[in-house]
Amino acid sequence: AGLPATDVVGLPEVQFDAKCSGTPGRAGLKNPEPVAIDPARRRLYVGDRGNSRVLVFQLTDAGYPDSTDAIAVIGQPNFSTCQDPTAPSDAVVKLPSGLAVDPASGRLFVADYGFNRVLIFDANALDAGMRAVRVLGQSNMTDEFFDSGVAGLNGPTGLAYNGPSELFVADQANN
């Protein structure tokens, strides 16, 4: 038998359908994946694919969430908004599919499957409606075209960060 969970985040409203609906709040998750941990800032990042956002939870010194309520939201203007993005910008995320953290700088990398890009956020200063500081895979924050060239992305699904200049991207539709 396995060990029981010590904490659960996203309850009482974890859902596994794909559409953004209702008011998700600080604790509601819809199709939660992926996750990343920033050990330097003691944060847990959870991709909330069904609500087109990333939730940020503060961790205790022991590494457990100190609350089931998130402390910040990325990709939506606030906790109660659930907008299915129709156009890319530096403040929206559509289907977060990969997360990675640079613990040295505080940068958060978000693979945005819906808009074929990776967004980079400065997670040192979390605030409502925070904006990405850089985009990879597109020429600017408002493009969403898939591209099979060396600088383009087509459905990024996973990220791994390995130091100051190495971000690995799994680009699903480009094989």
The answer to whether 76 and 91 have CB atoms below 8 angstroms apart is no
Question: pLDDT tens digits for 4-55?
Answer: 666 666 555 444 455 565 678 888 888 889 999 999 999 999 999 989 999 9
Q: What is the mean pLDDT of residues 146-162?
A: 89
Tallying the residues shown for the chain, one arrives at 175
The CA–CA distances, whole Å, from 71 to 7, 49, 125 equal: 16, 18, 12
List, in sequence order, every residue forming a beta bridge with 74; answer none if it has no partner. Answer: 54
Q: What is the pTM of this model?
A: 0.88
